[in-house]
Structure formats: structure tokens, C-alpha cells
Structure 1
Amino acid sequence: MQESTANKVAANATSSFTEHLQRDRPELLPFNRPGQGGATAAAPPQVPHATTIVAMSYSGGVLMAGDRRATMGNVIASRHIEKVFPADRYSVLGIAGTAGIAIDLTRLFQVELEHYEKIEGTLLSLEGKANRLGAMIRGNLPLALQGLAVVPLFAGFDTSAGVGRLFSYDVTGGRYEEHEHHTVGSGSVFARGALKKLWRPNLSAEEAVSVAIEALFDAADDDSATGGPDTVRRLWPVVYTVDSTGTRRVAEEQLAAASLSVIEARTVAGREA
């Protein structure tokens, strides 16, 4: 009997935590909760939305940054939300779209990667991580059709190739590898315009931080759903870098200095205009 039980457990074992939940406890998945399924619902509820995320490559790694504002219609729902998270030791995830579902999917993705490492005894490849995230986004498609979409950015350091890589997605889970830089969210058009002018190959990590803040500043200038650096409340973007040493959250002091430098330069330019 013990051998039969062990065989059963082995047969049911999977390196995917999401597959495990889908099989045994599907109601715990963010996109399978009661009242959240089906595409026939009326207007989507008013819920907080998170924007804007920028990401770019730099010499030796990748950087991802997000502003701190969440909106609900014409109301600022939060000035303190965080939209960029470490997925594991060598990757980061930025979220745009319906904030609650996006944060739940982020947590599930973090557990997915941790579960894989425990079962397999090794890290999942960066390509594998990107594919698994796409499958999770695809699972949220019924809610996306109701207006509750989640559109992430994913970036990490590919330890096998020794380079940083960046991936974008659509609401169907389609995965696209981006080169140089990319943005998502309501302010993405304005941030992308800034990145086209400011980004260049082989930026240092410090230069990349300044470019990200400039891009978010431009997005906030034209998009009411994006919050720029807030010197009164001392609120700065959330910024992560990923290189061969792993993920690192950029310190508040460095972000404050870079943000104030951008504001001062634009103030001087405005006076001279």
C-alpha cells in the first residue's frame, strides 16, 4: 500500500505549481475565482489600474522601472503602489493593467519559479520562465475580455548566454522578445518617445537609472495615470537592475538624487527658454 501511495504521488508530481493548482485546487488561481470567469459580464467594475513600466538593456544587464500611481477612473487610487517585483534571483516582472489581478499573478509566478527550483534542483532557464509567464497571461484571457487585462513586462539575465533579455506580452499570452528597450501602460507612448532619444548602447547602470526616470517624467507630463517623482512626499519610482550578480533594487537615495537632478535640469532649461 505504501508503495502504491508513493507511486501515485510520483505520478501526480509536477514542476509547475500552476499546473498543480489547476488540477487540484483550480479555485485558488487568480483567474478561476468565483465570480471572475466568463466573458458575458456587463461593464467591468471600477478597480485600480497600474501604469507605467519602462525597461531597457544596459552594459551587463537589464533595468526595469515603474511609477507609483494607480488610478480608478479619474481618481488616483494610490500614490504608493509598487509595480516592479523580483521574480527570482535573476529576473524581474513589471505589471500594467488591473492591479489586483496583476499582483496575484506576480505572486503566483514567484511561487511557480520557486517550486520549479525545489522540484528540479536547478533554476528554470530564462526562456522557460518567459514561456510560463505567457501561459499564465493566457489563462487570464476570459477576464481580459471583460476589461480586466494584465499586461506585464519581463526581464532577466540569461546565465547561459551571459546577457540581459527583455520580453513583452499581449493579453492572449503572446510573447515577444524586445531589444534595446520597451514600455507598457497608459503612459507607454510618451515614455517610449523619451527612450528613443535618450537610450544608447552600453549605458552604465547609473546612466540607465537616469534614463528611466527621464522617461517616466515625460510619461507623467502627458499621461494623468502616470505619477512622476514626488518631491513633496519623497516618492520615487521603483527601479530594479539585473545582471550576472542577480537582481538589485536601486536604493531610495540614488533614486532621489537622480530624480532631483532631472527636475533641476528641466527647471533651468525652462527658465532659459
Structure 2
Amino acid sequence: MSLDPFGRLPAAYFTPGSSSFSDFVREHAPDVLPGARRTPAGGALPTGGPGAGQPPHATTIVSIVCAGGVVMAGDRRATAGPMIAQRDIEKVFPADQHSCVGIAGTAGLALEMVRLFQVELEHFEKLEGTLMSFEGKANRLSAMIRNNLGLAMQGLAVVPLFAGFDLDEGRGRIVGYDVTGGRYEEQDHHAVGSGSVFARGALKKLYRPGLDAAEAIRVAVEALWDAADDDSATGGPDLLRRIWPVVAVVTADGYQRVPEAELGTVVEAVVARRTGNPGGRLDGGELR
């Protein structure tokens, strides 16, 4: 919306209404929302080699409930068809002080959705003077995914993974979604993206109740390794370029990204254990 002839903001900015930033934009400038866009109908893919003209896709995200909170990790590879579009894309972001979101699907739209979600939560906090509840945040993200359904039906799906520390219940929680915006409470751990089937298999074997944050970080890296071992769209730790997964821990103290130096130590331990044992066989049922 443009300023009026006197350089003032339009009256809509001063009219009481919903605390939802998305609802405000949808009412006054719906064309700028991601879900309002449409891709051209028909036509062949642009030429220029494998993957040319295809939007980059992001995978894989895993999340694990741990003692005192939750851990989320994402690999760093984005693909366009059979090609690697980017080796160091970021897929895990803070949503607010006590929650995080990981992206899978069409990377550009997913990143735009994350930014809109972050603004949505900050807007609510400024208007209401309090943080939105975990349930409220999960439901708001569900609505955003549902508003993208038109683009998802045209092949531009976004399926994020949401997790955080529920201040009301005093525990870490994980919420998964489908492309229609349906939300599902996940127990203990979950994974999304093209490598998720392999990551989930690893999580089932490695997870145990009561993991502390350090143990959960190790399990997350192991799960992403297994995903990368069998899914070409998932990138494993890149030892030559020193590119590690993005890993975050969310507790009652807030969101914290695991430092690169600390994560490098974990990755090197995983590589050492997998050398000569690529399938990750457990020694006596425990990681060593």
C-alpha cells in the first residue's frame, strides 16, 4: 500500500483488527503473498542441460526430542533435478526465541515462508505483548502451508518441520505437516524430505528416551549420514570443504545454533566410527 497524498500511512495501518500479519497482508495486499502466485500453465521445461529451469529443492530435516528441549538438524544440499544447485544452503532457522523450523521442498518458496512466519510471530508479540503459544505457532504455520496449496498442486510444494520448547508444558515438541497444511504431533523424533525414509530408519535404531542434547546432536548427524548414504538429494558432511549440517538446540533458555567447531568434532567422530563400517553397525547396541 502506498502513502496518501500527504505522505501518511493509509488508514488500514491504524484500524484495530487481527494480530496476524498474514491476515493483514491478505486483506490489503494479497498479491504479495507467496500462495497468491501462479506458475505459467503448460509448456516444456527450459532447455540448457539437466535441471535447467527447475527450482532448487531442499532436503533432509530431522528433529529429536531430548532432555530439556529439542534438537533439529538439516543437511546442506539443494538440488535442481539431478544437479547439485547449492552445497551449503541453510535449512534450519529460528522461528522465535523458543522454536525453530526446518524447510523441505521448493527452496525459494520455503525460505519465503520461513521469513513470513518469523514476521508473523514477531508481529503477534509486539501487538499482544506476549509470546504466542506453541499450539498457536504450529497452527499459524499450518495455515501458511495450506495457503500454498495452489502452488503445491503445480509441483512447488513446501513441507516444513516445526519444533520447539513448549513453555506451558515444559518440554520439547515436534510437529510435522503435509502439503494441505494438515499438522501432526510427532513423538520422540521425526524427519522430512527425500532422505527422510532412511533418516527415520536410523532414528528408530539410535533414539532412546532421556537423550541429553549432546547425544541427540550425535544421533541427528548419524541419521543425516544414513540419509545421504542412500539419497542422492541429501548431502552428507563435506570433509573437503568443511561443510557440516546446520544443527540447533531449543530449550527453556531459547534457540541456539550449535557452533561449527563443536559440530566438527561430532562429525569427525561419526566419520571415524563409519570408516570400515559404512552401514553404522552398533557395537553392543551403543554408539561409540
Q: Deviations over 1:166-187 (max 9, x none)?
A: 0000000001000100000000
Superposed, 1:221-240 pairs within 5 Å as 221-240=229-248
| 228, 241, 244: which one aligns with 2:249 | 241
- 1:47 is matched with 55
- 2:4 is matched with none
- Indicate the SS of the match to 1:92: strand
Q: Deviations over 1:239-266 (max 9, x none)?
A: 0110110000001011111011011111
- 1:13 is matched with 17
- 2:137 is matched with 129
Taking only the aligned residue pairs, the percentage that are identical comes to 61
Whichever residue aligns with residue 94 of structure 1, its letter is G
| 67, 73, 76: which one aligns with 2:75 | 67
Superposed, 1:105-120 pairs within 5 Å as 105-120=113-128
Q: Does structure 1 conserve the Cα–Cα contact (< 8 Å) formed by 2:199 and 2:224? A: yes
- 1:187 is matched with 195
Superposed, 1:1-273 pairs within 5 Å as 11-33=15-37, 35-36=38-39, 41=42, 46-269=54-277
Q: Deviations over 1:211-233 (max 9, x none)?
A: 00000000000000000001100
CA distance in 1, matches of 2:139, 2:15: 24
Q: Deviations over 1:25-65 (max 9, x none)?
A: 111111223x448xx55678611000000001001100100
Whichever residue aligns with residue 125 of structure 2, its letter is E
Distance 1:18 1:43, change over 3 A: farther
CA distance in 2, matches of 1:121, 1:6: 24
Higher helix share: 1
- 2:50 is matched with none
Whichever residue aligns with residue 255 of structure 2, its letter is T
- 2:284 is matched with none
Whichever residue aligns with residue 14 of structure 1, its letter is S
- Indicate the SS of the match to 2:255: strand
- Tell me the TM-score normalized by structure 1: 0.92
Q: Does structure 1 conserve the Cα–Cα contact (< 8 Å) formed by 2:39 and 2:154? A: no
- Tell me the TM-score normalized by structure 2: 0.87
Q: Does structure 2 conserve the Cα–Cα contact (< 8 Å) formed by 1:71 and 1:77? A: yes
Shift of 1:9: 5.6
Q: RMSD between aligned alpha carbons?
A: 2.0
- 2:6 is matched with none
* Alignment size in residue pairs: 264
- Indicate the SS of the match to 2:277: helix
Q: Deviations over 1:110-156 (max 9, x none)?
A: 00000000000000000000000000000000000001000010001
